[in-house]
Amino acid sequence: MRIGIISDTHGSLSPQAYAALADCDHIIHAGDIGGPAILRELETLAPVTAVLGNNDFAEYGSDVGLFARPVLGGVKFLVGHKPGDVRVSRGGASRGLGPGDPIPDVIVHGHTHVPELVVGPEARPASIYMCPGAVFRPRSDFGRTIAKMDVENGRVLRTAIEDLTGKTLLEA
Q: What are the domain boundaries of the chain?
A: 2-171
Report the distance separating Cα 11 and Cα 56, nearest Å: 10
Query: Looking at residues 38-61, what average pLDDT do you find?
Result: 94
Residues in contact with 71: Cβ distance below 8 Å, sequence separation at least 6, in sequence order: 77
**Is the pLDDT score of 9 beyond 70?**
yes
| Average pLDDT over every residue of 31-57 | 96
Mean pLDDT over residues 100-128, rounded?
Answer: 92
Does residue 18 carry a pLDDT above 70? yes
Q: Which of 2-11, 62-71, 89-98, 142-151 has the lowest mean pLDDT?
A: 89-98
Element (H, E) at 81: none
How far apart (Å, rounded) are the C-alpha atoms in residues 145 and 27? Answer: 14
20 closest CA partner among 144, 153, 136, 105? 144
The arithmetic mean of pLDDT across residues 25-41, rounded, is 97
Q: Rounded distance, CA 8 to CA 14, Å? A: 12
Question: Over the chain, what is the mean pLDDT?
Answer: 93
Fold of domain 2-171:
Purple Acid Phosphatase; chain A, domain 2 (3.60.21)
Taking 3-state DSSP, the helix, strand and coil percentages for the chain, each rounded to the nearest 5, stand at 15, 35, 50
Count H helices, E strands: the chain? 3, 12
Q: What is the pLDDT of residues 51-103, one digit of tens each?
A: 999 999 888 888 899 999 999 999 999 999 999 888 876 666 678 877 788 88
Instruction: List pLDDT tens digits, range 115-124.
Output: 999 998 889 8
